[in-house]
Structure 1
């Protein structure tokens, strides 16, 4: 099953539980037996668009939610643009990109990295190589290409990005001096886009709620969300509403601990203007 199908199954179950209706009610409405509803909600059976519409209307979902769910059902099995990278990317990479492609906004906290959606190609290449020391040149090129293409929706204004990083992220010379300079030089233009917010948590701030825990919060057009947490062996996806709702206020806390976007942009420009020698002394 694809991530879209899993997301659809979870949403159907949530809507039913919220409506107070039982499995028997849903089965009677569809004219099927109860096990089918159980299989739909457990993502053991793919839901057809007309079935999704009928169930959503039974559960009292709003028009926007109904149409969003029907579209999700129609496209659940359709290959995305990122499927051409199946051979070179990890399964978690594809799941991550699919979530990002379907999202309307992403809130990203990074500790010592510039977020992937804001990385230059050389910076990105160094990050991926560092995380995969034995990677071949061909696979590396494909993964870099995938990450760079992900930025297209940001540049077109189709994806809202709110990124919070610690001060170590812009200071760490990933890829060496030249790549570092190029990354810092490009950042001000990207974070000035109307759909991008960027904040820096200064070192002097001290402790904060997400120390040691970088994460992404995706929000979809129906209000549901997913949290992605990277670790050395892959990516953990949290999709239960209770988990997602724990990370949303955590991200707001990080925004409150960080410099405001204007001061964060000024700090980036200060780093860029200081020159290579100052960076080396600072680092």
Structure 2
């Protein structure tokens, strides 16, 4: 499910509508592939929003004809194809952003809400400049000062989605207490980072909870970092796009979309939230720890 170009959400919406149209007509991938003189895999990739490349309007119109879409629906599909081919702001950072993160930033930008768990460090959306630079100097030791600055500017651009006036993204985040105790840079940097988290958690669209050491393992096993991305609903109450779970790993990232996978992570999130301190107690712990580090 890696889309390396264009705008992520329109491409995924288009793929879903085309898949639904094919299913409603009772046609298989093979049958439509023959009609379009395409391989089965090409049509499957379009339906799953996999791969980049321009979606030709003539092809979209022909699929709409096969699926018996009316003129209004066909126009909407063509409009989605046009939007999916537009270059978005994060593509200007292609020099310092790997393809998998490119995909994630596209999803993140389109999301209406994020459910985050980090057992290791503060996620990029909430990192201060000093905390981010301290991490980048270690993780990208061969980067020039200019490249490191570009990485920082990318973070700043991403963080604007939390503070924008029009429909800021809603964030429900749980951090393990170890995040507060793991030194990144200096104690002064950590103190500033924790104060920033506490201040940001006062926003109406942001909830920050801390999972304390004494909570143990709420689901009976360690859980790595993940983000559940939801995309809201349209005027008819349908999901704009399926939920995606982003699972970050040292050797590669995963994007999970199957209902059985999203259910597992939603259940884990519920258990973790239940075991975490509430928002007020978490803010108090952040401020106390920041004060200890500054002493």
For normalisation by structure 2, the TM-score amounts to 0.77
Runs of 5+ unmatched residues, structure 1: 278-283
Any idea what SS the aligned residue of 1:42 has?
A: helix
Q: Which residue of 1 aligns with 2:120?
A: 112
More off after superposition, 231-240 vs 193-202? 231-240
Indicate conservation of the 8 Å contact 1:118/1:187, yes or no.
Answer: yes
Question: CA 1:37–1:254 in 2, change beyond 3 Å: closer, same or farther?
Answer: farther
More off after superposition, 240-249 vs 88-97? 240-249
More off after superposition, 9-18 vs 167-176? 9-18
Q: Which residue of 1 aligns with 2:224?
A: 213
Any idea what SS the aligned residue of 2:87 has?
A: coil
Q: Which residue of 2 aligns with 1:272?
A: 290
Q: Which residue of 2 aligns with 1:237?
A: 255
Any idea what SS the aligned residue of 1:151 has?
A: helix
Indicate conservation of the 8 Å contact 1:112/1:166, yes or no.
Answer: yes
Output the CA distance in 2 between the equivalents of 1:267 and 1:53.
Answer: 56
Output the CA distance in 2 between the equivalents of 1:107 and 1:227.
Answer: 9
Are 2:23 and 1:22 equivalent residues in the alignment? no
Provide, for residues 120-159 of structure 1, a one-character-per-residue CA deviation record: whole Å limited to 9, x for no partner: 1111112233333333322221111101210101011521
Shift of 1:233: 3.1
Q: Which residue of 2 aligns with 1:42?
A: 45
Runs of 5+ unmatched residues, structure 2: 233-239
Question: CA 1:52–1:254 in 2, change beyond 3 Å: closer, same or farther?
Answer: farther
Number of aligned positions between the proteins: 269
Indicate conservation of the 8 Å contact 2:162/2:168, yes or no.
Answer: yes
Output the CA distance in 2 between the equivalents of 1:249 and 1:48.
Answer: 41
Question: CA 1:86–1:35 in 2, change beyond 3 Å: closer, same or farther?
Answer: same
For normalisation by structure 1, the TM-score amounts to 0.80
Question: CA 1:48–1:232 in 2, change beyond 3 Å: closer, same or farther?
Answer: same
Output the CA distance in 1 between the equivalents of 2:81 and 2:273.
Answer: 35
Indicate conservation of the 8 Å contact 1:228/1:238, yes or no.
Answer: yes
Any idea what SS the aligned residue of 1:217 has?
A: strand
